[in-house]
Structure 1
Protein backbone atom coordinates (compact mmCIF):
# COMPACT_ATOMS: atom_id res chain seq x y z
CA UNK A 1 0.00 0.00 0.00
CA UNK A 2 1.62 3.27 -1.11
CA UNK A 3 1.31 6.65 0.53
CA UNK A 4 -1.43 7.92 -1.77
CA UNK A 5 -3.55 4.81 -1.16
CA UNK A 6 -3.07 5.17 2.57
CA UNK A 7 -4.09 8.81 2.31
CA UNK A 8 -7.28 7.85 0.50
CA UNK A 9 -7.98 5.21 3.15
CA UNK A 10 -7.48 7.78 5.89
CA UNK A 11 -9.83 10.12 4.05
CA UNK A 12 -12.53 7.44 3.93
CA UNK A 13 -12.15 6.81 7.65
CA UNK A 14 -12.57 10.52 8.32
CA UNK A 15 -15.54 10.76 5.99
CA UNK A 16 -17.26 7.95 7.86
CA UNK A 17 -16.74 9.45 11.28
CA UNK A 18 -19.79 10.28 13.34
CA UNK A 19 -21.04 13.84 13.41
CA UNK A 20 -20.79 16.61 10.89
CA UNK A 21 -17.11 17.56 10.44
CA UNK A 22 -16.11 21.19 10.46
CA UNK A 23 -14.11 22.87 7.68
CA UNK A 24 -10.74 22.00 9.21
CA UNK A 25 -11.80 18.43 9.92
CA UNK A 26 -12.76 18.05 6.26
CA UNK A 27 -9.24 19.03 5.24
CA UNK A 28 -7.08 17.60 8.02
CA UNK A 29 -7.15 14.20 9.66
CA UNK A 30 -4.17 12.88 11.61
CA UNK A 31 -5.63 9.57 12.81
CA UNK A 32 -3.30 7.54 10.54
CA UNK A 33 -0.49 10.08 10.48
CA UNK A 34 2.15 7.73 11.86
CA UNK A 35 1.51 5.17 9.12
CA UNK A 36 1.63 7.82 6.42
CA UNK A 37 4.82 9.33 7.81
CA UNK A 38 6.53 5.95 7.66
CA UNK A 39 5.56 5.67 3.98
CA UNK A 40 6.76 9.15 3.10
CA UNK A 41 10.50 8.83 3.68
CA UNK A 42 11.31 9.08 -0.03
CA UNK A 43 9.01 12.10 -0.27
CA UNK A 44 10.82 13.86 2.58
CA UNK A 45 14.17 13.13 0.92
CA UNK A 46 12.90 14.47 -2.40
CA UNK A 47 11.55 17.54 -0.62
CA UNK A 48 14.93 18.20 0.98
CA UNK A 49 16.65 17.94 -2.39
CA UNK A 50 14.16 20.28 -3.98
CA UNK A 51 14.51 22.77 -1.13
CA UNK A 52 18.28 22.79 -1.60
CA UNK A 53 18.11 23.13 -5.38
CA UNK A 54 15.32 25.70 -5.34
CA UNK A 55 16.95 27.80 -2.63
CA UNK A 56 20.32 27.99 -4.38
CA UNK A 57 19.07 28.46 -7.93
CA UNK A 58 16.57 31.04 -6.70
CA UNK A 59 19.41 33.33 -5.58
CA UNK A 60 20.43 33.84 -9.21
CA UNK A 61 16.82 34.00 -10.37
CA UNK A 62 16.44 37.08 -8.15
CA UNK A 63 19.86 38.55 -8.97
CA UNK A 64 19.31 38.19 -12.72
CA UNK A 65 15.61 39.19 -12.64
CA UNK A 66 14.36 35.88 -14.08
CA UNK A 67 11.06 35.10 -12.31
CA UNK A 68 9.20 35.51 -15.62
CA UNK A 69 11.63 33.04 -17.22
CA UNK A 70 10.91 30.50 -14.48
CA UNK A 71 7.22 30.74 -15.28
CA UNK A 72 7.86 30.37 -19.01
CA UNK A 73 10.08 27.31 -18.52
CA UNK A 74 7.51 25.71 -16.23
CA UNK A 75 4.85 25.94 -18.95
CA UNK A 76 6.96 23.94 -21.41
CA UNK A 77 7.97 21.57 -18.60
CA UNK A 78 4.26 21.00 -18.07
CA UNK A 79 3.87 20.35 -21.80
CA UNK A 80 6.73 17.82 -21.79
CA UNK A 81 5.28 16.01 -18.79
CA UNK A 82 1.84 15.93 -20.45
CA UNK A 83 3.25 14.47 -23.66
CA UNK A 84 5.13 11.82 -21.67
CA UNK A 85 2.00 10.97 -19.69
CA UNK A 86 -0.03 10.59 -22.90
CA UNK A 87 2.63 8.37 -24.53
CA UNK A 88 3.16 6.27 -21.40
CA UNK A 89 6.75 7.45 -20.96
CA UNK A 90 8.62 8.64 -17.88
CA UNK A 91 6.94 11.87 -16.73
CA UNK A 92 10.09 13.24 -15.09
CA UNK A 93 12.08 12.72 -18.29
CA UNK A 94 9.37 14.46 -20.29
CA UNK A 95 9.31 17.36 -17.85
CA UNK A 96 13.10 17.72 -18.03
CA UNK A 97 13.07 17.62 -21.84
CA UNK A 98 10.43 20.35 -22.02
CA UNK A 99 12.29 22.51 -19.49
CA UNK A 100 15.62 22.21 -21.29
CA UNK A 101 13.99 23.05 -24.62
CA UNK A 102 12.43 26.20 -23.17
CA UNK A 103 15.57 27.19 -21.24
CA UNK A 104 17.75 26.73 -24.31
CA UNK A 105 15.44 28.85 -26.45
CA UNK A 106 15.30 31.62 -23.85
CA UNK A 107 19.05 31.53 -23.30
CA UNK A 108 19.96 31.62 -27.00
CA UNK A 109 17.26 33.93 -28.35
CA UNK A 110 16.77 36.26 -25.40
CA UNK A 111 20.15 37.89 -24.85
CA UNK A 112 18.69 41.28 -23.94
CA UNK A 113 15.93 41.61 -21.35
CA UNK A 114 13.40 42.90 -23.89
CA UNK A 115 14.11 40.04 -26.30
CA UNK A 116 14.03 37.53 -23.45
CA UNK A 117 10.62 38.65 -22.28
CA UNK A 118 9.27 38.47 -25.82
CA UNK A 119 10.58 34.92 -26.23
CA UNK A 120 9.07 33.91 -22.89
CA UNK A 121 5.75 35.50 -23.85
CA UNK A 122 5.72 33.35 -26.98
CA UNK A 123 6.77 30.14 -25.26
CA UNK A 124 4.30 30.35 -22.36
CA UNK A 125 1.01 30.11 -24.29
CA UNK A 126 2.48 27.51 -26.66
CA UNK A 127 3.58 25.29 -23.76
CA UNK A 128 0.31 25.74 -21.90
CA UNK A 129 -1.77 24.97 -24.99
CA UNK A 130 0.32 21.91 -25.82
CA UNK A 131 0.05 20.62 -22.27
CA UNK A 132 -3.71 21.11 -22.15
CA UNK A 133 -4.05 19.33 -25.51
CA UNK A 134 -2.25 16.17 -24.40
CA UNK A 135 -3.92 16.14 -20.99
CA UNK A 136 -7.30 16.25 -22.72
CA UNK A 137 -6.26 13.34 -24.95
CA UNK A 138 -5.03 11.29 -21.98
CA UNK A 139 -7.67 8.77 -20.88
CA UNK A 140 -5.98 7.51 -17.72
CA UNK A 141 -6.50 8.44 -14.08
CA UNK A 142 -7.59 12.02 -13.49
CA UNK A 143 -5.23 12.18 -10.48
CA UNK A 144 -2.26 11.93 -12.85
CA UNK A 145 -3.48 14.97 -14.79
CA UNK A 146 -4.12 16.91 -11.61
CA UNK A 147 -0.71 16.00 -10.19
CA UNK A 148 1.20 17.59 -13.09
CA UNK A 149 -0.48 20.90 -12.34
CA UNK A 150 -0.55 20.85 -8.54
CA UNK A 151 2.19 18.39 -7.51
CA UNK A 152 2.16 14.87 -6.14
CA UNK A 153 5.10 14.55 -3.77
CA UNK A 154 3.21 12.19 -1.43
CA UNK A 155 3.25 9.50 -4.09
CA UNK A 156 6.91 9.70 -5.15
CA UNK A 157 7.97 6.28 -6.41
CA UNK A 158 11.46 4.77 -6.26
CA UNK A 159 12.25 5.30 -10.00
CA UNK A 160 11.10 8.91 -9.72
CA UNK A 161 13.31 9.39 -6.66
CA UNK A 162 16.28 8.11 -8.66
CA UNK A 163 15.58 10.68 -11.38
CA UNK A 164 15.28 13.42 -8.78
CA UNK A 165 18.53 12.39 -7.10
CA UNK A 166 20.48 12.28 -10.35
CA UNK A 167 19.15 15.56 -11.71
CA UNK A 168 19.61 17.33 -8.37
CA UNK A 169 23.24 16.20 -8.29
CA UNK A 170 23.80 17.64 -11.78
CA UNK A 171 22.20 20.98 -10.82
CA UNK A 172 24.14 21.30 -7.56
CA UNK A 173 27.45 20.38 -9.23
CA UNK A 174 26.87 22.92 -12.01
CA UNK A 175 25.99 25.65 -9.51
CA UNK A 176 29.11 24.88 -7.47
CA UNK A 177 31.33 25.22 -10.54
CA UNK A 178 29.83 28.46 -11.83
CA UNK A 179 28.89 30.11 -8.52
CA UNK A 180 31.66 32.73 -8.26
CA UNK A 181 31.84 33.84 -11.92
CA UNK A 182 28.04 33.75 -12.20
CA UNK A 183 27.72 35.93 -9.10
CA UNK A 184 30.16 38.43 -10.62
CA UNK A 185 28.38 38.36 -13.99
CA UNK A 186 24.98 38.78 -12.33
CA UNK A 187 26.06 41.72 -10.15
CA UNK A 188 27.90 43.69 -12.84
CA UNK A 189 27.90 42.04 -16.29
CA UNK A 190 29.80 44.86 -18.04
CA UNK A 191 32.70 44.84 -15.59
CA UNK A 192 32.70 41.02 -15.58
CA UNK A 193 32.94 40.95 -19.37
CA UNK A 194 35.80 43.46 -19.25
CA UNK A 195 37.61 41.19 -16.79
CA UNK A 196 37.33 38.26 -19.20
CA UNK A 197 34.38 36.46 -17.64
CA UNK A 198 32.38 34.62 -20.37
CA UNK A 199 29.15 36.41 -19.52
CA UNK A 200 27.06 35.15 -22.44
CA UNK A 201 28.19 31.53 -22.07
CA UNK A 202 27.47 31.69 -18.33
CA UNK A 203 24.01 33.09 -19.02
CA UNK A 204 23.16 30.26 -21.40
CA UNK A 205 24.63 27.65 -19.06
CA UNK A 206 22.64 28.98 -16.13
CA UNK A 207 19.43 28.96 -18.15
CA UNK A 208 19.94 25.24 -18.81
CA UNK A 209 20.65 24.64 -15.12
CA UNK A 210 17.53 26.65 -14.29
CA UNK A 211 15.59 24.47 -16.71
CA UNK A 212 16.62 21.36 -14.78
CA UNK A 213 15.72 23.03 -11.48
CA UNK A 214 12.29 24.01 -12.80
CA UNK A 215 11.65 20.45 -14.00
CA UNK A 216 12.49 19.15 -10.53
CA UNK A 217 10.22 21.64 -8.81
CA UNK A 218 7.34 20.90 -11.20
CA UNK A 219 7.35 17.33 -9.87
CA UNK A 220 6.74 18.65 -6.36
CA UNK A 221 4.42 21.66 -6.50
CA UNK A 222 3.22 21.34 -10.08
CA UNK A 223 3.65 23.62 -13.06
CA UNK A 224 1.30 26.29 -11.77
CA UNK A 225 3.09 27.07 -8.51
CA UNK A 226 6.77 26.45 -9.25
CA UNK A 227 7.58 30.08 -8.44
CA UNK A 228 7.01 29.32 -4.75
CA UNK A 229 10.25 27.31 -4.66
CA UNK A 230 12.44 29.11 -7.17
CA UNK A 231 11.51 32.72 -6.42
CA UNK A 232 9.79 33.28 -3.08
CA UNK A 233 12.47 31.85 -0.69
CA UNK A 234 15.28 33.82 -2.34
CA UNK A 235 13.13 36.95 -2.54
CA UNK A 236 12.36 36.61 1.16
CA UNK A 237 16.04 36.20 2.03
CA UNK A 238 16.92 39.24 -0.06
CA UNK A 239 14.57 41.34 2.08
CA UNK A 240 16.63 40.75 5.23
CA UNK A 241 20.22 40.41 3.99
CA UNK A 242 22.50 41.32 1.12
CA UNK A 243 25.40 39.21 2.36
CA UNK A 244 26.75 36.85 -0.32
CA UNK A 245 27.00 34.15 2.34
CA UNK A 246 23.80 34.65 4.35
CA UNK A 247 21.59 35.20 1.30
CA UNK A 248 21.94 31.68 -0.18
CA UNK A 249 21.90 30.11 3.31
CA UNK A 250 18.65 31.82 4.25
CA UNK A 251 17.16 31.07 0.83
CA UNK A 252 17.87 27.36 1.28
CA UNK A 253 16.51 27.37 4.84
CA UNK A 254 13.29 29.07 3.73
CA UNK A 255 12.87 26.67 0.82
CA UNK A 256 13.48 23.66 3.07
CA UNK A 257 10.98 24.88 5.67
CA UNK A 258 8.39 25.43 2.94
CA UNK A 259 8.96 22.02 1.36
CA UNK A 260 9.25 19.85 4.45
CA UNK A 261 6.48 21.73 6.23
CA UNK A 262 4.26 21.38 3.18
CA UNK A 263 4.89 17.64 3.00
CA UNK A 264 4.19 17.11 6.69
CA UNK A 265 0.92 19.02 6.46
CA UNK A 266 -0.12 17.34 3.21
CA UNK A 267 0.35 13.90 4.78
CA UNK A 268 -2.54 14.61 7.12
CA UNK A 269 -4.66 16.35 4.53
CA UNK A 270 -7.00 15.52 1.65
CA UNK A 271 -5.70 18.35 -0.57
CA UNK A 272 -2.53 18.46 -2.72
CA UNK A 273 0.78 19.63 -1.35
CA UNK A 274 1.06 22.84 -3.37
CA UNK A 275 -1.30 25.02 -1.26
CA UNK A 276 0.73 24.23 1.86
CA UNK A 277 4.11 24.90 0.23
CA UNK A 278 2.96 28.15 -1.32
CA UNK A 279 1.27 29.35 1.88
CA UNK A 280 4.30 28.65 4.08
CA UNK A 281 6.59 30.27 1.52
CA UNK A 282 4.34 33.32 1.28
CA UNK A 283 4.14 33.72 5.07
CA UNK A 284 7.93 33.55 5.30
CA UNK A 285 8.17 36.27 2.66
CA UNK A 286 5.69 38.46 4.52
CA UNK A 287 7.66 38.03 7.74
CA UNK A 288 10.94 38.92 6.03
CA UNK A 289 9.35 41.91 4.36
CA UNK A 290 8.16 43.20 7.72
CA UNK A 291 11.58 42.67 9.28
CA UNK A 292 13.31 44.35 6.34
CA UNK A 293 10.89 47.26 6.43
CA UNK A 294 11.52 47.86 10.12
CA UNK A 295 15.28 47.84 9.57
CA UNK A 296 14.97 50.43 6.81
CA UNK A 297 12.68 52.52 9.00
CA UNK A 298 15.16 52.43 11.91
CA UNK A 299 17.99 53.30 9.52
CA UNK A 300 16.04 56.28 8.17
CA UNK A 301 15.66 57.65 11.70
CA UNK A 302 19.29 57.05 12.63
CA UNK A 303 21.82 59.95 12.41
CA UNK A 304 24.22 57.44 10.87
CA UNK A 305 22.13 57.59 7.68
CA UNK A 306 21.47 61.29 7.10
CA UNK A 307 20.81 60.78 3.40
CA UNK A 308 17.91 58.44 4.20
CA UNK A 309 16.40 60.85 6.70
CA UNK A 310 15.64 63.27 3.87
CA UNK A 311 14.02 60.70 1.58
Structure 2
Protein backbone atom coordinates (compact mmCIF):
# COMPACT_ATOMS: atom_id res chain seq x y z
CA UNK A 1 0.00 0.00 0.00
CA UNK A 2 1.48 3.36 -1.08
CA UNK A 3 2.07 6.18 1.33
CA UNK A 4 -0.54 8.99 1.20
CA UNK A 5 0.53 12.06 -0.73
CA UNK A 6 0.88 15.55 0.68
CA UNK A 7 -2.63 16.57 -0.43
CA UNK A 8 -4.17 13.43 1.10
CA UNK A 9 -2.46 14.20 4.40
CA UNK A 10 -3.92 17.71 4.44
CA UNK A 11 -7.37 17.00 2.96
CA UNK A 12 -8.76 13.49 2.84
CA UNK A 13 -12.52 13.02 2.80
CA UNK A 14 -12.56 9.24 2.40
CA UNK A 15 -14.93 7.62 4.92
CA UNK A 16 -15.90 11.12 6.02
CA UNK A 17 -19.35 10.09 7.21
CA UNK A 18 -17.98 7.39 9.52
CA UNK A 19 -15.32 9.71 10.88
CA UNK A 20 -17.84 12.46 11.54
CA UNK A 21 -19.52 10.40 14.22
CA UNK A 22 -16.24 10.17 16.12
CA UNK A 23 -15.90 13.90 16.65
CA UNK A 24 -19.39 14.73 17.87
CA UNK A 25 -18.04 15.93 21.22
CA UNK A 26 -15.35 18.00 19.51
CA UNK A 27 -17.89 19.76 17.27
CA UNK A 28 -20.11 20.60 20.23
CA UNK A 29 -17.11 21.77 22.22
CA UNK A 30 -15.90 23.82 19.25
CA UNK A 31 -19.26 25.56 18.88
CA UNK A 32 -19.37 26.35 22.61
CA UNK A 33 -15.79 27.59 22.53
CA UNK A 34 -16.58 29.77 19.53
CA UNK A 35 -19.51 31.34 21.36
CA UNK A 36 -17.56 32.11 24.53
CA UNK A 37 -14.35 33.03 22.70
CA UNK A 38 -16.21 35.38 20.38
CA UNK A 39 -17.92 37.13 23.27
CA UNK A 40 -14.84 37.62 25.38
CA UNK A 41 -12.74 38.52 22.32
CA UNK A 42 -14.66 41.79 22.12
CA UNK A 43 -13.44 42.87 25.54
CA UNK A 44 -9.92 41.58 24.90
CA UNK A 45 -9.66 44.00 21.98
CA UNK A 46 -11.44 46.85 23.77
CA UNK A 47 -9.06 46.54 26.71
CA UNK A 48 -5.97 45.99 24.49
CA UNK A 49 -5.10 42.65 26.09
CA UNK A 50 -4.02 40.22 23.32
CA UNK A 51 -0.64 39.87 25.02
CA UNK A 52 -2.37 38.84 28.24
CA UNK A 53 -4.15 36.02 26.40
CA UNK A 54 -0.83 34.58 25.29
CA UNK A 55 0.60 34.87 28.80
CA UNK A 56 -2.36 33.06 30.34
CA UNK A 57 -2.15 30.30 27.73
CA UNK A 58 1.44 29.53 28.71
CA UNK A 59 0.47 28.96 32.34
CA UNK A 60 -2.53 26.95 31.19
CA UNK A 61 -0.15 24.78 29.19
CA UNK A 62 2.07 24.35 32.26
CA UNK A 63 -0.91 23.32 34.39
CA UNK A 64 -2.16 20.86 31.79
CA UNK A 65 1.26 19.29 31.22
CA UNK A 66 1.81 19.04 34.98
CA UNK A 67 -1.51 17.24 35.36
CA UNK A 68 -0.57 14.94 32.47
CA UNK A 69 2.71 14.10 34.18
CA UNK A 70 1.16 13.11 37.52
CA UNK A 71 -1.87 11.37 35.97
CA UNK A 72 -4.40 13.99 37.11
CA UNK A 73 -7.25 15.54 35.14
CA UNK A 74 -5.67 17.55 32.31
CA UNK A 75 -8.66 19.89 32.02
CA UNK A 76 -8.49 20.68 35.72
CA UNK A 77 -4.76 21.31 35.47
CA UNK A 78 -5.30 23.64 32.54
CA UNK A 79 -8.01 25.52 34.43
CA UNK A 80 -5.83 25.92 37.52
CA UNK A 81 -2.91 27.22 35.48
CA UNK A 82 -5.09 29.72 33.61
CA UNK A 83 -6.85 30.98 36.72
CA UNK A 84 -3.54 31.41 38.55
CA UNK A 85 -2.06 33.41 35.68
CA UNK A 86 -5.21 35.52 35.31
CA UNK A 87 -5.31 36.36 39.01
CA UNK A 88 -1.63 37.30 39.09
CA UNK A 89 -1.96 39.55 36.03
CA UNK A 90 -5.20 41.04 37.31
CA UNK A 91 -3.88 41.83 40.79
CA UNK A 92 -0.42 43.08 39.91
CA UNK A 93 -0.99 44.72 36.56
CA UNK A 94 -3.32 47.66 36.99
CA UNK A 95 -1.55 49.69 34.30
CA UNK A 96 -0.78 48.50 30.76
CA UNK A 97 2.99 48.84 31.18
CA UNK A 98 2.98 46.92 34.46
CA UNK A 99 0.68 44.27 32.99
CA UNK A 100 2.87 43.71 29.95
CA UNK A 101 6.04 43.40 32.01
CA UNK A 102 4.38 40.85 34.30
CA UNK A 103 3.15 38.86 31.30
CA UNK A 104 6.64 39.00 29.79
CA UNK A 105 7.96 37.38 32.98
CA UNK A 106 5.18 34.78 33.24
CA UNK A 107 5.28 33.60 29.61
CA UNK A 108 8.77 32.06 29.51
CA UNK A 109 8.34 30.66 33.01
CA UNK A 110 5.08 28.93 32.11
CA UNK A 111 6.38 27.65 28.79
CA UNK A 112 9.60 26.39 30.34
CA UNK A 113 7.71 24.67 33.14
CA UNK A 114 5.38 23.02 30.64
CA UNK A 115 8.29 21.81 28.51
CA UNK A 116 9.93 20.35 31.64
CA UNK A 117 6.77 18.43 32.55
CA UNK A 118 6.38 17.09 29.03
CA UNK A 119 10.04 16.04 28.92
CA UNK A 120 9.49 14.02 32.11
CA UNK A 121 6.25 12.50 30.82
CA UNK A 122 6.77 8.97 29.49
CA UNK A 123 3.35 8.42 27.92
CA UNK A 124 2.09 8.79 24.36
CA UNK A 125 3.77 11.52 22.33
CA UNK A 126 0.39 12.50 20.88
CA UNK A 127 -0.68 13.65 24.33
CA UNK A 128 2.33 15.96 24.51
CA UNK A 129 1.85 17.37 21.03
CA UNK A 130 -1.88 17.85 21.55
CA UNK A 131 -1.37 20.24 24.45
CA UNK A 132 0.55 22.56 22.16
CA UNK A 133 -1.37 22.25 18.89
CA UNK A 134 -4.72 20.65 19.77
CA UNK A 135 -6.24 17.28 18.87
CA UNK A 136 -9.39 16.68 16.90
CA UNK A 137 -10.55 13.69 18.94
CA UNK A 138 -9.20 14.94 22.26
CA UNK A 139 -12.58 15.90 23.72
CA UNK A 140 -14.18 12.96 25.48
CA UNK A 141 -17.44 13.08 27.42
CA UNK A 142 -15.90 14.08 30.79
CA UNK A 143 -13.91 16.87 29.11
CA UNK A 144 -17.01 18.06 27.28
CA UNK A 145 -18.87 18.19 30.60
CA UNK A 146 -16.06 20.28 32.12
CA UNK A 147 -16.17 22.63 29.15
CA UNK A 148 -19.95 23.04 29.30
CA UNK A 149 -19.84 23.85 33.00
CA UNK A 150 -16.97 26.29 32.53
CA UNK A 151 -18.70 27.91 29.56
CA UNK A 152 -21.86 28.40 31.60
CA UNK A 153 -19.89 30.11 34.36
CA UNK A 154 -18.14 32.41 31.88
CA UNK A 155 -21.37 33.22 30.03
CA UNK A 156 -23.27 34.08 33.21
CA UNK A 157 -20.34 36.14 34.47
CA UNK A 158 -20.14 38.12 31.22
CA UNK A 159 -23.88 38.79 31.19
CA UNK A 160 -23.77 40.09 34.77
CA UNK A 161 -20.86 42.50 34.23
CA UNK A 162 -21.37 43.29 30.53
CA UNK A 163 -22.58 46.90 30.74
CA UNK A 164 -20.26 48.20 33.49
CA UNK A 165 -17.34 46.30 31.97
CA UNK A 166 -18.00 47.89 28.57
CA UNK A 167 -18.11 51.33 30.21
CA UNK A 168 -14.90 50.68 32.16
CA UNK A 169 -13.18 49.34 29.03
CA UNK A 170 -13.97 52.41 26.94
CA UNK A 171 -13.22 55.09 29.56
CA UNK A 172 -11.93 53.69 32.88
CA UNK A 173 -11.33 57.10 34.47
CA UNK A 174 -14.85 58.35 33.76
CA UNK A 175 -16.28 55.00 34.88
CA UNK A 176 -14.38 55.22 38.16
CA UNK A 177 -15.66 58.77 38.63
CA UNK A 178 -19.22 57.50 38.17
CA UNK A 179 -18.73 54.92 40.91
CA UNK A 180 -18.08 51.87 38.72
CA UNK A 181 -15.79 49.39 40.56
CA UNK A 182 -13.15 49.36 37.82
CA UNK A 183 -10.53 47.37 39.72
CA UNK A 184 -13.00 44.67 40.79
CA UNK A 185 -14.37 44.40 37.25
CA UNK A 186 -10.83 44.01 35.91
CA UNK A 187 -10.15 41.13 38.30
CA UNK A 188 -13.43 39.40 37.45
CA UNK A 189 -12.79 39.80 33.73
CA UNK A 190 -9.30 38.36 34.06
CA UNK A 191 -10.76 35.34 35.84
CA UNK A 192 -13.33 34.83 33.07
CA UNK A 193 -10.60 35.27 30.47
CA UNK A 194 -8.49 32.64 32.22
CA UNK A 195 -11.35 30.15 32.13
CA UNK A 196 -11.89 30.83 28.42
CA UNK A 197 -8.21 30.37 27.61
CA UNK A 198 -8.21 27.06 29.49
CA UNK A 199 -11.09 25.84 27.31
CA UNK A 200 -9.34 27.01 24.16
CA UNK A 201 -6.21 25.03 25.01
CA UNK A 202 -8.27 21.82 24.92
CA UNK A 203 -9.21 22.43 21.26
CA UNK A 204 -6.49 24.43 19.50
CA UNK A 205 -3.58 23.96 21.91
CA UNK A 206 -1.67 26.46 24.03
CA UNK A 207 0.33 28.02 21.21
CA UNK A 208 -2.61 29.10 19.04
CA UNK A 209 -5.22 30.36 21.49
CA UNK A 210 -5.03 33.86 20.02
CA UNK A 211 -6.89 32.68 16.91
CA UNK A 212 -9.99 32.04 19.05
CA UNK A 213 -9.81 34.77 21.69
CA UNK A 214 -8.28 37.69 19.75
CA UNK A 215 -8.68 37.38 15.96
CA UNK A 216 -12.53 37.21 15.81
CA UNK A 217 -13.11 40.63 17.37
CA UNK A 218 -10.05 42.08 15.63
CA UNK A 219 -11.66 41.08 12.32
CA UNK A 220 -15.12 42.34 13.30
CA UNK A 221 -13.75 45.74 14.29
CA UNK A 222 -12.39 46.15 10.77
CA UNK A 223 -15.86 46.21 9.24
CA UNK A 224 -18.02 47.93 11.86
CA UNK A 225 -17.79 50.34 14.77
CA UNK A 226 -21.10 49.24 16.30
CA UNK A 227 -20.43 47.39 19.60
CA UNK A 228 -23.45 45.05 19.28
CA UNK A 229 -22.54 44.16 15.69
CA UNK A 230 -18.89 43.65 16.62
CA UNK A 231 -20.00 41.13 19.24
CA UNK A 232 -22.31 39.26 16.85
CA UNK A 233 -19.70 39.10 14.10
CA UNK A 234 -17.00 38.08 16.56
CA UNK A 235 -19.09 35.12 17.73
CA UNK A 236 -19.89 34.10 14.14
CA UNK A 237 -16.24 34.33 13.12
CA UNK A 238 -15.07 32.33 16.14
CA UNK A 239 -17.67 29.57 15.74
CA UNK A 240 -16.98 29.38 12.00
CA UNK A 241 -13.24 29.13 12.55
CA UNK A 242 -13.33 26.42 15.21
CA UNK A 243 -16.13 24.25 13.83
CA UNK A 244 -14.93 24.75 10.26
CA UNK A 245 -11.41 23.79 11.29
CA UNK A 246 -12.66 20.62 12.96
CA UNK A 247 -14.65 19.59 9.89
CA UNK A 248 -11.73 20.24 7.53
CA UNK A 249 -9.22 18.44 9.74
CA UNK A 250 -11.42 15.39 10.16
CA UNK A 251 -9.87 13.32 7.39
CA UNK A 252 -6.31 14.58 7.73
CA UNK A 253 -3.32 13.30 9.64
CA UNK A 254 -2.22 16.68 10.98
CA UNK A 255 -3.43 18.63 14.04
CA UNK A 256 -6.58 20.73 13.99
CA UNK A 257 -4.89 24.03 14.80
CA UNK A 258 -3.55 24.88 11.30
CA UNK A 259 -7.10 24.66 9.94
CA UNK A 260 -8.61 26.80 12.69
CA UNK A 261 -5.89 29.43 12.48
CA UNK A 262 -5.98 29.55 8.68
CA UNK A 263 -9.75 30.07 8.57
CA UNK A 264 -9.48 32.71 11.29
CA UNK A 265 -6.67 34.47 9.45
CA UNK A 266 -8.53 34.44 6.13
CA UNK A 267 -11.58 35.95 7.83
CA UNK A 268 -9.39 38.69 9.25
CA UNK A 269 -7.79 39.40 5.87
CA UNK A 270 -11.21 39.53 4.22
CA UNK A 271 -12.54 41.93 6.85
CA UNK A 272 -9.45 44.09 6.60
CA UNK A 273 -9.82 44.35 2.82
CA UNK A 274 -13.53 45.12 3.15
CA UNK A 275 -12.84 47.76 5.77
CA UNK A 276 -10.16 49.40 3.62
CA UNK A 277 -12.52 49.43 0.64
CA UNK A 278 -15.31 51.04 2.64
CA UNK A 279 -12.87 53.60 4.00
CA UNK A 280 -11.72 54.54 0.49
CA UNK A 281 -15.35 54.90 -0.56
CA UNK A 282 -15.95 57.16 2.43
CA UNK A 283 -13.01 59.36 1.48
CA UNK A 284 -14.24 59.52 -2.10
CA UNK A 285 -17.72 60.55 -0.94
CA UNK A 286 -16.28 63.24 1.30
CA UNK A 287 -14.17 64.49 -1.60
CA UNK A 288 -17.17 64.74 -3.92
CA UNK A 289 -19.14 66.56 -1.21
CA UNK A 290 -16.37 69.05 -0.47
CA UNK A 291 -15.86 70.00 -4.13
CA UNK A 292 -19.35 71.55 -4.63
CA UNK A 293 -19.08 73.25 -1.25
CA UNK A 294 -15.75 74.80 -2.23
CA UNK A 295 -17.21 75.98 -5.56
CA UNK A 296 -20.18 77.51 -3.78
CA UNK A 297 -17.89 79.29 -1.37
CA UNK A 298 -15.99 80.84 -4.26
Check whether the contact 1:82–1:135 (CA below 8 A) recurs between aligned residues: yes
Check whether the contact 1:185–1:199 (CA below 8 A) recurs between aligned residues: yes
- 1:52-201 matches, cutoff 5 A: 52-201=35-184
Supply the distance in 2 between the matched residues of 1:222 and 1:74 (Cα, whole angstroms). 9
Supply the distance in 2 between the matched residues of 1:277 and 1:303 (Cα, whole angstroms). 39
Residues 78-123 of structure 1: per-residue CA shift (max 9 Å, x gap): 0000100000000000000000000000000000111001100110
Supply the distance in 2 between the matched residues of 1:22 and 1:90 (Cα, whole angstroms). 37
Supply the distance in 1 between the matched residues of 2:182 and 2:167 (Cα, whole angstroms). 9
How well do the aligned residues superpose, as a CA RMSD in angstroms? 1.2
Say which SS state the counterpart of residue 222 (structure 2) adopts. helix
1:303 is displaced (CA, Å) by 2.5
Say which SS state the counterpart of residue 103 (structure 1) adopts. helix
Name the counterpart of 1:12: none
The TM-score normalised by the length of structure 1 is: 0.91
Supply the distance in 2 between the matched residues of 1:21 and 1:52 (Cα, whole angstroms). 36
Residues 10-46 of structure 1: per-residue CA shift (max 9 Å, x gap): xxxxxx35xx754212322211111111121111100
Aligned residues: 289
Check whether the contact 1:27–1:269 (CA below 8 A) recurs between aligned residues: yes
Check whether the contact 2:136–2:249 (CA below 8 A) recurs between aligned residues: no
Name the counterpart of 2:16: 33
The TM-score normalised by the length of structure 2 is: 0.95
Supply the distance in 1 between the matched residues of 2:286 and 2:255 (Cα, whole angstroms). 50
Say which SS state the counterpart of residue 239 (structure 1) adopts. coil
Give 2:280's match in structure 1, choosing from 276, 284, 297. 297
Supply the distance in 1 between the matched residues of 2:139 and 2:241 (Cα, whole angstroms). 18
- 1:267-306 matches, cutoff 5 A: 267-303=250-286
